[in-house]
Amino acid sequence: MRKKVLFGYSKIYYCLLILLFNQLCLGQNKFPYFNTGQSEQGFIKIDAKTNDLPTPNLITFSPDGIKLVDGGSQQAAVALDALSFSTDKGFILEFEFGLDLGSSNPGDGIAMVLFDASITTPAMGVKGSGLGYAHARRTTGGHLKGFLGGFLGLGLDLYGNYKNVMSDTKETRNGIIDGKDEPSGTGGGNYVVLRGPAGPLNTEGYPVLFGINTNVNSNYYLDKSSGDREKRQKGFEGQRFEIKGGKHNVGPGDPAYRKAIISLVKGKDDVNNSIDGFFISVDMLHGVYKSSVIKNYFIPTTGTIRYRELVTAGSTTVTTKTLAISVPTELKMAFTGSTGGASIRAHIRNIALSLPFSPVANDMSVQGVLVDAPSTIKPLYLAFGYNSNVYSVLNPPIKSFLYLDKKSFRFKRYDPVSKQPVLTPDSYTLNEPGTGIFKYDENTGEITFTPETGFQGDVPYTFYYDIKNVKPASGTDISTEEYRSRTAAITLNFVKKGTGVDAYPTIIVNRGLKNTKELKP
């Protein structure tokens, strides 16, 4: 009896030790960060209203992620309250989103907001076309503030008004183009739009820096030195797509799958006097494709930009303003959703934060995994590391599978209590009761999966992992824990041996742009 009691205590102690280890790993390093969005823990609800009335149950957390809006005339916002992160080395943000249901001409959209971490009580901006980030000036009732302390607001602008000049008496705001001047054939919507920092008192500023259409060739940029609008033929690269996928929760490979990747990489502007700042790039994964929305849009660390502001509510008269830019030393992240007469249902999930030039570990869906015999899985098939973190447009770091430290691989599994992926006791072994045992080989980077006897594989199974770079021969050490990759998900789809679909297991990948400067494994 004593041995059984002691064994019980040892199991409890061991579980607590593993839990503590996971918490320490998360607490000591803000990079990398990953949150499924399935639990409210770590988030605060900033606002949730329908027809301007509080709607306590509008925002939900479930296996589908964070539901922000699901009908007309709604506004909602959440922030990652426990997470603030430094801008010193730049960062990469990723999130999956599902947009479905709603009106035939859906709107307005959602936004990912970066705001000054010194703001203790965040408040969202204007509903509807403001996407909860921008401001509005009015003839009566006082002006409406934009997102407090807003630095950048990346909008997925379904309806098209987030980018537009608004000159109504109830909503006057700067934009990159008047909606009446929008060329025929663009449809107005399907724009990825970046608005910049707040201005004085949060009732001006928030200028549109760029608006890129994902469905047709329509690209607008702010000339930051003059305040003029530039229309360019080039901007978007890759397969065209609609921002609304039409399904609320699907995995990589499904035509409705959508994921945004926003990079802010520190560097010097090679073209403009080697000014220090950040290069902003936005990529989108959609279905099996990866498209580049914009690459290397430069903003200075400190400086000014000029833009056209509509100062008088209800007027179309513009005034060229100078807006000071000073990148905050610490940022926080929020997500907003907003609808008006047009509507949409919006989910956000699998939010990731990592340092630039951390290894890129991509999610995969693997077909044809055997339920009745061992299978070999290659989790690093879509992964690569970097040789440096020193960046310029003309001489970027090299990326390659060869720069991955295969010995730094760590298994993770989904924890139903925290609703997050957590580390396994043995980094190279994952024992999943009812499914089987996964063994990682540190030399090959491959996994051997041995199914349990009687395993049926009726539903897919997902495991997780992360990995680090090899230590560079010189320069900044990008093999440290803060440069560890984000958590990647590998989903296995099962078949029985001899069914005719097991001979050549298929890996669904995100086809798209290739880096012209890379090494092959």
With residue 14 as reference, give the H or E element that holds it: helix 2-28
- Domain ends where: 318, 351, 384? 351
∠344-421-374 over CA atoms, to 5°? 110
User: Are 408 and 484 part of one and the same domain?
Assistant: yes
For the chain, the straight-line distance linking the first and the last C-alpha, in angstroms and rounded, comes to: 56
- pLDDT digits over 70-97, tens only? 999 999 999 999 899 999 999 999 999 9
Q: Which amino acid does the sequence have at 219?
A: N
Q: Are residues 341 and 403 in the same domain?
A: no
What contacts 515, CB < 8 A, 6 or more positions away? 399
What pLDDT does 520 receive? 38
pLDDT cut 70: percent of the chain above it: 88
Q: What distances in angstroms separate CA 464 from CA 175, 333, 428, 461, 486, one per listed residue?
A: 42, 24, 12, 10, 10
Long-range contact pairs involving 59-63 (C-beta distance under 8 Å, separation at least 24): 61/37, 62/38, 63/38, 63/249
Residue ending a domain, among 290, 316, 351, is 351
345 shares its domain with 369: no
pTM higher than 0.75 for the full model? yes
Interatomic CA distance for residues 52 and 75, integer angstroms = 8
322/370 same-domain check: no
Could you tell me if 381 and 444 lie in one domain?
yes
Looking at the fold, whether 233 and 341 belong to one and the same domain comes out as yes
253 with 341, same domain: the answer is yes
- What separation in angstroms does the CA of 149 have from each of 198, 204, 310? 6, 12, 20
C-beta of residue 32 within 8 angstroms of C-beta of residue 358: yes
Whole domain around residue 60: which residue ranges? Answer: 55-78+98-257+281-326+335-351
List, for residues 148-203, the tens digit of each pLDDT value.
Answer: 999 999 999 999 999 999 988 889 999 999 887 877 666 679 999 999 999 989 99
Does residue 170 sit in the same domain as residue 288?
A: yes
Determine the Cα–Cα distance for residues 476 and 474; give it in Å rounded to an integer. Answer: 7
Give the residue with greater pLDDT, 458 vs 395. Answer: 458
Asked, for residue 442, whether it belongs to a domain, the answer is yes
The answer on 314 and 193 residing in a single domain is yes
Q: Check pLDDT > 70 for residue 17.
A: no
- Asked if the structure places residue 85 within a domain, the reply is no
Whether the pLDDT of residue 278 is over 60: the answer is yes
Question: Residues 119, 69: one domain?
Answer: yes
- Answer yes or no: do 176 and 59 share one domain: yes
**Residue at 518 is within a domain:** no
Q: What is the CATH number of the domain that holds 419?
A: 2.60.40
Q: Does residue 25 form part of some domain?
A: no
The pLDDT-based confidence of 211 (bands split at 50, 70, 90) is very high
Q: Are residues 319 and 213 in the same domain?
A: yes
Contacts 24+ apart (CB under 8 A), 435-442: 435/461, 438/377, 438/411, 438/463, 440/409, 440/411, 442/406, 442/407, 442/409
Residue 29 lies in a domain: no
At 88 the pLDDT is 92
Q: Is residue 435 part of a domain?
A: yes
Q: Give the total number of structural domains in the chain.
A: 2
Q: What does the block give as tokens for 188?
A: 């107005």
Beta bridge mates, 62: 65
Residue 270 lies in a domain: no
Say if residues 145 and 125 touch (Cβ distance below 8 Å): yes
pLDDT at 510 over 60: no
